[in-house]
Chain A
């Protein structure tokens, strides 16, 4: 649904995005991760046809991005901007109605009514934009971005600044988009969110450092880690684990922690070796490195890059 090839965008001498190449399929959520100024918003804006790439090309919903195709692209994407950008003096219904008309949808009032129902906004249809909480504004903005049922949805920090309840609601709506077959590109600082909703993530810092599913990234960087709890002093069995194929073994009280290249093959060998060595195995669990750890390993801690055109 989206195919970006070597997309590059410079602002003066500063390169905001360099050589971005990625694809997003229908029914897939692609998370863009990176510190401020990493080029997440610039990437989304290029895909939305709002700014032109300096070089490279992209195809969005079957349309190649070019000056002459920009109108066609805009009618095929739904773009949730970082700020909801509602008109404060218009009601929720009026806000949506204007966009339904801009998209020249047949029966705009009917489309808006259905959208209000879908996003649980029917009871707030008459509220002014200025009267809404941040979470509600974001929901209206999401409803606005999806009024014309675009195959491609671009979301820029959709849960930024929302309370946990509102953020969860928005995340559920994003997951619903995947279920409906939309291709979703989600820019976020929220690693928990990326882990929860994204099928694949691209870690961006000007250029993509890595693109993979969160699980693949984790495995690629840290392998899989297992924890075996034994009765007594676990330290006595560290050598057994190493001999059976575990690496980076640490012992702490009753627990043995170790990394595994191939968990399905090595875990039974380790457990068998421990039992054979006389250990009383109480519990075997696997431990995944949180995406945050993966992120900081890729990006480096404390990396921020404020004050750029994004």
Chain B
């Protein structure tokens, strides 16, 4: 049985610790900054510097035409605005790296950190169950990751509204974007977290846990690159499919985490 009050106590502790360790946020803030700046550089600064409009790039126009069905609002815009909307849409995948990076950073430290600080044994001697411990650790790391992602997305949209062609912002806000950012983002983060926490329970070094969690960056980066190269279009159906796949993976990882979390080994092999 999971007692929400105990999970909440652990989540509160995780957030309170993070509030006093703001430097832990630096990696995720750095990724957020780069993920946010890059599309503006490509979509707005490069055309300004080169003096060539995005709409004069045949490859981009062709890619837009291919993805047009997924971006009906963009297709209704003038050429330059439509291509800008296409570029900003494609870079949304990059924003998924923000919560995933946060997850990797925080989860890697979660249980290893408790071990290193020797605070794990008193915690294990408390009424907290293994499931509550793992869920509390994951939620405690998920919340700051999602807050940073939400803020990044907000600033991203604000920047588009202020700097991009008129109508681009309107073309950005659609169910597909929301599903990508509010559905796939948190779930990808959750999976990375679960991997990090799971590995963190089995290893002696936070870096090992982080390296395992970082494996999730590879498929995300691949997804981003494939989209940018126009290899395929991430349709709403595909996002939904990915969402369900990640959900299943997360449930499996959670179950595996509880199974593999061996209190005795943690206590007796860790001095």
**Residues of B with C-beta under 8 A to A11:** 268
Say whether A88 contacts B117, CB under 8 Å.
yes
User: How far does the Cβ of B23 sit from chain A's closest Cβ, in whole Å?
Assistant: 11
Known: A102-B9, A102-B10. A51 touches B129 (CB 8 A): no
User: Which one of A50, A98, A310 lies within 8 Å of B124 (CB-CB)?
Assistant: A50
Closest CB-CB distance, A309 to chain B, in whole Å? 4
- List of B residues within 8 angstroms of A99 by Cβ: 122, 126
Q: Which residue of A lies closest to B120 (CB)?
A: A85
Question: Which residue, B10, B12, B118, B119, has most C-beta atoms of chain A within 10 A?
Answer: B119
Complex interface: stretch among A70-78, A243-251, A288-296:
A70-78
A168 contacts partner chain B, Cβ-Cβ < 8 Å? no
A134 at the interface (CB under 8 A from B): no
A106–B35 CA distance with the chains assembled, in angstroms: 46
CB distance from B70 to the nearest CB of A (A): 45
Among the interface residues B10, B20, B21, which one has the most CB atoms of the partner chain A within 10 A? Answer: B20
Sort chain A's interface into a size bin: 20 to 34
Q: State whether the Cβ of B16 lies closer than 8 Å to any Cβ in chain A.
A: yes
Count A-B contacts at CB 8 Å.
Answer: 86
Q: Contact check: which of B5, B20, B118, B264 meets A89 at CB < 8 Å?
A: B20
CB-defined contacts of A45 to chain B, threshold 8 Å: 267
B-contacting residues, A13-72, CB 8 Å: 45, 48-52, 71
B77 contacts across to A, CB distance below 8 A: none
For the complex, would chain B's binding face be called helix, strand, loop or mixed by DSSP majority? Answer: helix
Contact B125 A98 (CB under 8 A): no
- In the bound complex, what is the Cα–Cα distance between A51 and B125 (angstroms)? 10
Q: Does A81 have its Cβ within 8 Å of any Cβ on chain B?
A: yes
CB of A87 within 8 A of chain B? yes
Measured between C-beta atoms, what is the minimum distance from B118 to chain A in Å? 4
A144 to B13, CA, bound (A): 15
Q: Which of B125, B128, B267, B271 is the most central at the interface, judged by chain A CB atoms within 10 Å of its CB?
A: B125
Q: Are A77 and B125 in contact (CB under 8 A)?
A: yes
Taking the nearest CB of chain B, how far is it from the CB of A11, in angstroms? 6
- Select the residue from B16, B118, B122, B128 with max chain A CB neighbours within 10 A: B122
Q: Are B8 and A101 in contact (CB under 8 A)?
A: yes
Contact A48 B125, beta carbon cutoff 8 Å: yes
Within the assembled complex, what's the spacing in Å between the Cα atoms of A50 and B124? 7
How far apart sit A128 and B17, CA to CA, in the bound complex (Å)?
11
**Contact code string B2-31 (vs A, CB < 8 Å = 1, else 0):** 010110111011001100110000000000
Does A104 sit at the interface, judged by CB under 8 A?
A: yes
- Is A51 in contact with B264, judged by CB distance below 8 angstroms? yes
Query: Is B125 within 8 A of A81, CB to CB?
Result: yes
Q: Which 7 A-B pairs have the closest CB atoms?
A: A101-B9, A83-B118, A85-B119, A309-B268, A79-B125, A89-B20, A81-B121
Report B's interface with A, CB cutoff 8 A: 3, 5-6, 8-10, 12-13, 16-17, 20-21, 117-129, 263-264, 267-269, 271
**What are 20 A-B residue pairs whose CB atoms fall within 8 Å in the complex?**
A50-B124, A51-B263, A77-B125, A79-B121, A79-B125, A84-B118, A85-B119, A86-B119, A89-B20, A90-B20, A98-B10, A102-B9, A102-B126, A102-B128, A103-B127, A104-B3, A104-B6, A104-B127, A128-B20, A145-B122
